[in-house]
């Protein structure tokens, strides 16, 4: 092994080990963030997918795992966990009652290394919706970002950006508590790994009909489904209409299906049609022109999947891709996710992925796609 322990270097809880050939810290701990409440689901996922990782430390919304001593993390490493909003490799911790002390501790951690980008983000404080809480970057994370950039100078080689470039090396600082920052790094690869903490800034438009607007926009950005303006979409469970509002905004023609009332801003849009029925009551002919299907039903996942299956497996229906919200009415339903995804694959969708989005509540977003 090439590992060399540098040992304790200050009064701060701080360690570092180095891989001399690259100057990058050799990974000993994986850090992850998730929605408050999703910790057990994330631990369970990792126990199955990475049994050699040992759960180590956690706070609500923040977990660390000790990696095996001989771990060699390849550059294209993907954790592959639905409930991990972000992950990176730890190489230090900055504690102390005043900010100057913590800033200096991060600078010591960085040493003479250079990183392409700096990402500062908080762990979540509450479950989404609890105390009207929305996960996201904060005024505090912006302030720490500015202060650390000033402190680190040209150790961060690129200007601040809402999204790192693919392949860039990112220095991460997770604001775990007011006096507790955890430092680490990751290589930006997937779309979400390029966003600080996997988080996008909330841009709540004036007149937003429901939070589902944000959820849908995030789902589109994450999934990169190749929707083209003018194509026809359908959403099952569309009321009051936030997701349809987002789809209309990106130029889609939208069929909204829901027995409940849709907000007048959406209902009056010339490219919107409301079918006031339950999903299974809609004639299959109504889906003839539909290429993209969305579903956001406040029912158990198996019911959502039954409703979708009847539609997408019908011979006259040609759905190219879909974004489905599966409500985890109980957290224990998270264990069923692999089976839910397998069921969707069995309908002919070759690419099926799931992620708990920043704007998801106790639910996950599934994207499924057929080749174009």
Least spacing, CB of residue 211 vs ligand SAM, in Å: 8
Question: Which residues, 6+ apart, have CB-to-CB distance to 129 below 8 Å?
Answer: 361
Contact 60, 39 (CB under 8 A): yes
Least spacing, CB of residue 234 vs ligand SAM, in Å: 11
Two tokens at 129?
């919706």
| Contact letters for ligand SAM, residues 159-178 (x by CB under 6 A) | --------------------
Q: What is the DSSP letter of 192?
A: G
Residue 237 near ligand SAM by CB under 6 A: yes
Going 188 to 190 to 193 to 199, the CA torsion angle's sign is positive
| 355: nearest Cα among 248, 208, 220 | 220
| 124: nearest Cα among 358, 365, 364 | 358
Q: Considering only residues 170, 173, 243, 368, which one is a binding residue for ligand SAM as defined by CB under 6 A?
A: 243
Q: Considering only residues 61, 96, 196, 241, which one is a binding residue for ligand SAM as defined by CB under 6 A?
A: 241
Q: Which of residues 203-232 bind ligand SAM (CB under 6 A)?
A: 210, 212
Residue 122 near ligand SAM by CB under 6 A: no
Region of 5-13, 67-75, 187-195, 254-262 interacting with ligand SAM (CB under 6 A): 254-262
Residue 275 to residue 177: CA distance in whole angstroms: 48
Residue 64 near ligand SAM by CB under 6 A: no
Residue 238 near ligand SAM by CB under 6 A: yes
Region of 29-37, 94-102, 218-226, 239-247 interacting with ligand SAM (CB under 6 A): 239-247
Two tokens at 343?
């069921």
Residues β-bridged to residue 290 = 232
Residue 240 near ligand SAM by CB under 6 A: yes
Q: Which of residues 278-337 bind ligand SAM (CB under 6 A)?
A: 278-279, 296-299, 307
Beta-strand (E) ranges in the chain? 4-5, 17-18, 29-33, 54-59, 62-66, 86-95, 117-122, 169-177, 180-187, 232-236, 253-257, 272-275, 290-295, 321-327, 351-355, 363-369
Q: Which of residues 7-36 bind ligand SAM (CB under 6 A)?
A: none
Q: Considering only residues 242, 274, 357, 359, which one is a binding residue for ligand SAM as defined by CB under 6 A?
A: 242
| 176: nearest Cα among 240, 86, 95 | 95
CB count within 10 Å of CB 367 equals 21
Q: What are phi and psi of 156, to 5 degrees?
A: -110, 115
Q: Considering only residues 13, 47, 260, 339, which one is a binding residue for ligand SAM as defined by CB under 6 A?
A: 260
# residues near ligand SAM by CB under 6 A: 21
Residue 61 near ligand SAM by CB under 6 A: no
Q: Considering only residues 258, 320, 341, 367, which one is a binding residue for ligand SAM as defined by CB under 6 A?
A: 258
- Give the interface with ligand SAM as residue ranges (CB under 6 A): 210, 212, 236-243, 257-260, 278-279, 296-299, 307
């Amino acid at each position: 092994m090439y590992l060399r322990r540098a040992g304790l270097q200050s009064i701060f809880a701080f360690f570092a080990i180095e891989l001399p050939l690259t100057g990058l810290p050799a990974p000993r701990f994986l850090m992850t963030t998730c929605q408050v409440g999703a910790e057990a689901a994330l631990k369970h996922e990792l126990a199955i997918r990475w049994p050699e990782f040992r759960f180590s430390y956690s706070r609500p919304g923040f977990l660390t795992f000790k990696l095996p001593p001989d771990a060699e993390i390849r550059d294209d490493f993907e954790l592959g966990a639905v409930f991990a909003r972000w992950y990176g490799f730890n190489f230090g911790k900055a504690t102390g009652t005043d900010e100057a002390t913590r800033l200096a501790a991060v600078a010591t951690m960085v040493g003479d290394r250079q990183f392409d980008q700096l990402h500062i983000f908080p762990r979540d404080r509450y479950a989404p919706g609890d105390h009207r809480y929305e996960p996201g970057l904060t005024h505090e994370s912006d302030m720490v970002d500015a202060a650390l950039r000033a402190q680190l100078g040209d150790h961060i080689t690129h200007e601040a950006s809402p999204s790192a470039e693919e392949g860039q090396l990112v220095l991460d600082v997770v604001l775990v508590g007011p006096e507790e920052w955890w430092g680490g790094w990751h290589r930006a690869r997937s779309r979400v790994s390029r966003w600080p903490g996997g988080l996008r800034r909330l841009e709540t438009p004036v007149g937003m009909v429901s939070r589902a607007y944000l959820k849908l926009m995030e789902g589109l950005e994450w999934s990169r489904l190749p929707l083209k303006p003018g194509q026809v979409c359908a959403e099952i469970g569309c009321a009051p209409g936030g997701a349809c509002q987002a789809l209309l905004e990106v130029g889609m023609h939208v069929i909204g299906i829901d027995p409940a009332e849709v907000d007048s801003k959406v209902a009056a849009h010339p490219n919107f049609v409301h079918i006031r029925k339950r999903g299974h009551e809609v004639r299959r002919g109504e889906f003839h022109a539909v290429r993209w299907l969305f579903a956001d039903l406040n029912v158990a996942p198996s019911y959502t999947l039954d409703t979708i299956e009847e539609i997408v497996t019908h011979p006259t229906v040609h759905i190219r891709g879909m974004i489905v919200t599966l409500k985890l009415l109980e957290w224990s339903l998270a264990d069923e996710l692999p089976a839910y995804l397998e069921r969707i694959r069995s309908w002919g969708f070759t690419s099926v992925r799931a992620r708990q989005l920043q704007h998801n509540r106790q639910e996950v977003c599934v994207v499924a796609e057929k080749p174009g």
